Amino acid sequence: MPLDPSFASLPLDVLADAAIDRARGLGASHVDVRVERTRSRHLSLRDCVLSGMHDGEDVGVAVRVVLDGTWGFASTVDLTPEAARQAAETAVTVATMSRPLTKRRIELADEPAWRGTWVAPYALDPFDVRVSDAVAVLADYSERVLAHRAVTHVTATLDAVRENAFYADSAGARTLQQRVRVAPVLEALGVDPDAGSFDTMRSLAAPVGRGFEYVTGEDGVHDWDAELGELGDLLAERMAAPSLPAGRYDLVIEPSNLWLTIHESVGHATELDRALGYEANYAGTSFATPDRLGSLRYGSELMNVTGDRTVPFGLATVAWDHEGVQAQQWDIVRDGVLVGYQLDRASATLLPGGPGRSNGCAYADSPSHIAIQRMANVSLMPGQDDRSAADLIGDVTDGLYVVGDKSWSIDQQRYNFQFTAQRFYRIRDGELAGQVKDVAYQGRTPDFWAGLAALAGVRTWVLGGAVNCGKAQPGQAAPVSHGAPTALFRDVNVLSTLEEGSS
Amino acid sequence: MTRGTPPDQLVEHALERSRGHGCVVLLDESRTANLRWASNTLTTNGATRNRSMTVVAVTGDGPGASAGVLSRCVADTDDVAALVADAEAVADASPPEQSAMPLVRGAASPQFTDPPAESGIDVFEPVVGPLAEVLAASRTDGIDQYGYAEHVVTTTYLATSAGLRHRHVQPSGHLTVTAKKDAASTWTGVATRDFTDVDLGALDVDLRTRLEWSQRRVPLSPGRYRAVLPPTSVADLMVYAYWEMSALAAHEGRTVYSDPGRGTKVGRRLTDSRVSLRSDPEHPGQECSSVVLAHASSPVSSVFDNGLASPATGWVEGGVLRALVQTRHSASLTGLATTPGVDNLVLSVDGGTGSVRDLAARLDEGVLVTSLWYIREVDPRTLLLTGLTRDGVYWVSGGEVVGAVDNFRFNESPIDLLSRIHDAGVTRPTLSREWGEWFPRTSMPALTVDGFNVSTLSEAR
């Protein structure tokens, strides 16, 4: 896709020069300017009928300065040189007011001043699709699901985003980028009046950095026909399934569920700003502290995790971050040992014996917010031999096969987690033995990953992800993907949510 | 192009440019300021100004109408004209919307032409001096402080082609602090409209008391315990229970408020009969909009309902479920009164007296919670939620705090908890730690509940 000319033709350099010149004139040692436009669309259908639509467009100029070792940030929605200069002045005022509260001077890791343009690979811009055509696709999907006798109601939602981002700084960097993402979700509700109960079953199509071709299935990435065809049966099976007693079980976890466990127990735990305590008042800290870099045993020797801002179609994939740092891929856990963190330019200077360079993990969710250290696509590498999910299930005598994410929660240091799933299947003697319900799996991060006993091969590897990861004050939402193969974990604590809820 | 056009004139311009059957315009002028600190030093900050217009372009009339809903930052009348044209193009390309209704009629408020309310980084002047002193004292005493202060003022101008003109000013602010010393951690937070009422010194005294309590550790095993929940934690649980109160979702059979396959539980006993849960736009100190301001349709709001009165409503009264959050559309489906959502929440328990400290003093034996975190739904049928305690849990014996226990994960339903109240405090303004960012106006009592489920322990400090 070409870069949108209506963005490229904005007076980007003029705005950047106005802000940079003004802030430097007022004494700033570093100035960066982001001009961004984000288009968003939300569509929701209830029982095949449009129940809500909203299109949004967020445009603005963000100016960040370092003045006397202190940050100052301001933004404006007015794309004029005068407004950009005013934002630069406000950023300097904010820095000046903040100076007495600042004890540690801000230092920024060096980065070459990149210049270039990048457009993510996608075929059909979701904003080139008429609302009526998008609704027609979702209505068709909804009708197919609602046709099943077990389905009482069906909801469908589609979220789509197109981002344009221009970055410039006082060192001379100038980059221009464009990317899209889509998140289609279908959920079936079954109501059983006789039992006075209900349950849901949701599609597993992950949100991705792809165009509308992913929603229609034209690109062959997600098999919508198969999934829509089986959703009603899967729901009916679960509603009739037995409740599982609590106990310890071996778990074979699909990437559709494991991505979220990786996100919570590895992704957030290896953000350096968290490990340094910057998020102590909000998102939390981390047990994986910098003094344990190179020595902390995170999991079994099978565990290899990378941070990656380059993987095609990843939700956190870019060419340069919001501090002008080139996108990279690096090791976070190698052979089960913590070896790396996610960094921005300020935190990269605080890592003892670290790389001395940011690995490109700074970004903001809108021009109204300051760039902070955010998550790369953090992914678990597949096994070397070409094992299948069935091979892993074959290694289990009494366990569960876990499919699709649902509920999630983890403590602020990233130790104690509890997850549920769209589907839990009982495994008996190496075979699937039908769905069970009322299940949650719970663990302590290093113990859970120490139980990683087998990895399936690259053919099972899938990018899952989320579009709404929350962090920072003021709160920012971020899209991020996580790749994983199907994997086997031994001896995991499994709760009965029925027993948990019985006072 | 006309730069510097007042907001009310931009809204009028949008209505003038409208060519459809109907039009709703919402213009939001927001001013924000924030300060953030970690390890006793400032980390980030900011001051932003934003102006965003939402146009609901309506094609067709009444039920069967389509709505094109488009929000965008606007600077001048040219931007407004383009926005209206684009919204109408979306409406023309959209199928009918489920909740379509005639637009709300109304009169023009005289305040509609007033300028937007202002705020900036100087709103923190009352706290910056005291904060510098607190941070300096913390450094001296080996305490690390992490905190955040935010102020947002949003002025919303709402107008419809049916004559309504309404202006609403919504200030919101909060300040939260986490203090750490050695292996101990604790937290406090307050909501405020303007920071003139924030007493940092008093907050610091509370934090230091809790750090002192943490000097002694007491073992705890998983199990069920009598537990004192402070107002912030009660707010965490009640806000979730309120967010689940969609009448449409209950009617479809998908929530704890459903009688699956038959309708809703409105009219039935839900909790202890001393409990009432209400929202009131005039609640002192927590005033909020008294009309619907809907920027998009959802199960709990409809863009067609913009401007509809949202008066004080009792959701639960005397332990009985009295109302659920409605649109005009869902009210017609459920046959219940049209009771739109209101942006504050007040829980009270008849006979409740005292503060969280008083409840601890009245407790024989059990745990005292500081705050809750990472609360997510496990089972919507019972509204079973999981989550963790954070930044300090203390063991109380004979009305005295005797030391700190491990943080723990709970699995509990707020509805079920409201039937296990052992003791209750007086209702007072509080900030939900987990949801205060999205829902800052809550008034809650502290509660002592029986059999709180300490499911698994967490070594997080």
pLDDT, one tens digit per residue, over B149-164 is 999 999 999 999 999 9
Residue B104 and residue B27 share a domain: yes
B307 is a domain residue: no
A233 token code pair:
């049966």
CATH code, A69: 3.30.2290.10
Same domain? B34 vs B124? yes
Nearest CB to A52 within list B70, B296, B409: B296
Contact between B458 and A411 using a beta-carbon 8 Å cutoff: yes
The pLDDT of residue A354 is 63
Total domains in the fold of chain B: 2
Q: Are residues B119 and B256 in the same domain?
A: no
| Total structural domains within chain A | 2
Within-domain flag for B338? no
Q: Which of residues 243-302 of A touch B (CB under 8 A)?
A: 276-282, 284, 287
Q: Which tens digits make up the pLDDT trace of B364-422?
A: 999 999 999 999 999 999 999 999 999 999 999 999 999 999 999 999 999 999 999 99
pLDDT exceeding 90 applies to what percent of chain B?
A: 91
pLDDT tens digits, A301-355: 999 999 999 999 999 999 999 999 999 999 999 999 999 999 999 999 988 776 5
| DSSP code at position B17 | H
Taking the Cβ of residue A96 and every Cβ of chain B, the question of whether any pair is shorter than 8 Å is answered with no
B365 contact A CB<8A: no
B237 plus B185 within the same structural domain: no
Q: Which of B37, B118, B386 to mutate to test the interface with A (most CBs of A within 10 A)?
A: B386
Residues B53, B139 within the same domain: yes
pLDDT value, residue B1: 46
A-chain residues within 8 Å CB-CB of B456? 416, 418, 442, 493
Domain end residue (candidates: A219, A239, A259): A239
The predicted structure's pLDDT at residue A487: 98
Q: What is the dihedral angle through the alpha carbons of B361, B367, B370, B376, rounded to the nearest 10 degrees? A: -140
Are A193 and A281 within one domain? no
- CATH label of the domain that carries residue B80: 3.30.2290.10
What is the pTM (predicted TM-score) of this model?
Answer: 0.96
Q: Scanning the structure block, which residue is given the tokens 């006082």?
A: A170
- Do B399 and B351 share a structural domain? yes
Q: Are residues A312 and A286 in the same domain?
A: yes
CA–CA distance, B86 with B70 (Å, rounded to integer) = 8
A105/B contact by beta carbon, under 8 A: no
Question: How many residues does this entry show for chain B?
Answer: 461
* Strands across the sheet containing A337-338: A337-338, A329-334, A305-308, A377-380
Instruction: Out of A239, A270, A301, pick the residue that ends a domain.
Output: A239
Domain region containing A195: 5-239
A101: which chain B residues are within 8 Å (Cβ-Cβ)? 35, 37, 41-42, 128, 131-132, 135
Quote the tokens at residue A179.
């990317």
Alpha helices (runs of H) in B214-300, residue ranges in sequence order? 231-243, 247-252
One domain for residues A12 and A130:
yes
Among B299, B273, B271, which residue's Cα sits nearest to residue B414? Answer: B271
According to DSSP, the residues that pair with A488 across neighbouring strands are A252, A454
Q: Which of B101, B265, B374, B449 to mutate to test the interface with A (most CBs of A within 10 A)?
A: B374
pLDDT in tens, chain A (503 residues): 789 999 999 999 999 999 999 999 999 999 999 999 999 999 999 999 999 999 999 999 999 999 999 999 999 988 999 999 999 999 999 999 888 888 889 999 999 999 999 999 999 999 999 999 999 999 999 999 999 999 999 999 999 999 999 999 999 999 999 999 999 999 999 999 999 999 999 999 999 999 999 999 999 999 999 999 999 999 999 999 999 999 999 999 999 999 999 999 999 999 999 999 999 999 999 999 999 999 999 999 999 999 999 999 999 999 999 999 999 999 999 999 999 999 999 999 988 776 589 999 999 999 999 999 999 999 999 999 999 999 999 999 999 999 999 999 999 999 999 999 999 999 999 999 999 999 999 999 999 999 999 999 999 999 999 999 998 889 999 999 999 999 999 999 999 999 999 97
Q: Show residues of chain B in contact with A132, CB under 8 Å.
A: 93-95
Both A259 and A331 in one domain: the answer is: yes
**Is there a domain that residue B166 lies in?**
yes
What distance in Å separates the CA atoms of residue B211 and residue B205, rounded to the nearest whole number? 10
- The pLDDT score that the predictor gives to residue B2 is 56
Q: Calculate how close chain A gets to B277, using CA atoms only, in Å.
A: 22
B26 and B68 inside one domain: yes
User: Of B154, B176, B192, which marks where a domain is finished?
Assistant: B192
Cβ-defined contact of A50 to B387 (cutoff 8 Å): no
The three-state secondary structure class of A239 is helix
**Cα(B209)–Cα(B356) distance, rounded to whole angstroms?**
14
Q: Collect all residues of chain B within an 8 Å Cβ-Cβ radius of residue A198.
A: 253-254, 258, 260, 380-381
Establish if B335 belongs to a structural domain. no
Preceding amide of A474 cis, omega within 30: yes
Domain-ending residue, one of B192, B225, B249: B192
Is residue B284 domain-shared with residue B145, that is, in the same domain?
Answer: no
Domain boundary among B159, B192, B225: B192
Task: Using the 3D structure, point to which of A175, A208, A239 is the last residue of a domain.
Answer: A239
Instruction: Give the domain range for residue B428.
Output: 216-263+280-291+344-461
Q: What pairing do the DSSP bridges indicate for beta strands A487-496 and A439-444? A: antiparallel
Cβ neighbours of residue B20 under 8 Å, at least 6 residues apart? B57, B58, B59, B88, B91
> What's the pLDDT band for B43 if we cut at 50, 70, 90?
confident
Nearest CA in chain A to B42: A102
Residues 409-428 of B with CB under 8 A from A: 409, 411-413, 416, 420
Q: Do A191 and B39 touch (CB under 8 A)?
A: no
Interface of B with A in 307-326 (CB under 8 A): none
For the segment B142-152, what is each residue's pLDDT rounded down to a tens digit?
Answer: 999 999 999 99
B95-124 residues touching A, CB cutoff 8 A:
95-99, 121, 124
Q: What is the mean pLDDT of residues B330-355?
A: 98
Specify burial of residue B183 (Cβ count, 10 A radius: 0-12, 13-18, 19+). Answer: exposed
For residue B207, tell me if it sits in a domain. Answer: no
Alpha helices in B93-189 (DSSP H): 125-140
Contact between chains at A410 and B374 (C-beta distance less than 8 A): yes
Q: Do A75 and B48 touch (CB under 8 A)?
A: yes
- Identify whether residues B368 and B408 lie together within a single domain: yes
Distance separating alpha carbons of residues B426 and B443, to the nearest angstrom: 10
Give A342 to chain B, closest Cα distance, Å: 18
Surface of A (425-454) touching B: CB under 8 A: 438, 440, 442, 444
Residues of chain A numbered 177-236 and touching chain B (CB < 8 Å)? 189, 191-193, 195-198, 200
Give B33's contacts (C-beta < 8 A, 6+ positions apart). B46, B47, B48, B119, B120, B121, B123, B124, B150, B151
Do A153 and A128 share a domain, yes or no?
yes
Minimal Cα distance from B72: which residue of A?
A57
Same domain, A23 and A110: yes
Query: Taking CB atoms and an 8 Å cutoff, what residues of chain A touch B327?
Result: none
Q: Which residue of B has its CA nearest to A89?
A: B47
Cβ-based contacts of B455 with chain A (< 8 Å): 442, 495, 500
Q: Which of A472, A485, A469 lies closest to A207, judged by CA?
A: A469
In terms of domains, do B128 and B169 share one? yes
**A168 and A224 belong to one structural domain:** yes
Residues B184, B234, single domain; the answer is no
What is the rounded distance in angstroms from the CA atom of residue A380 to the CA atom of residue A11? Answer: 42
- Judged against a pLDDT cut of 70, whether residue B214 lies above it is answered with yes
Burial grade of A300 (CB within 10 A; 0-12, 13-18, 19 or more): middle
Residues B257 and B121 in one domain: no
Cβ of A101 within 8 Å of Cβ of B457? The answer is no
Q: What is the mean pLDDT of residues B102-106?
A: 93
Strands A70-76 and B41-59: parallel
- A484, A288, A284: which is closest to A378 by C-alpha? A484
Angle at A227 between CA A224 and CA A230, to 5 degrees: 145
Interface size, chain A vs chain B, as Cβ–Cβ contacts under 8 Å: 293
In terms of Cα–Cα distance, which of B366, B367, B278 is closest to B315?
Answer: B278
CA B324 to chain CA mean position, Å: 17
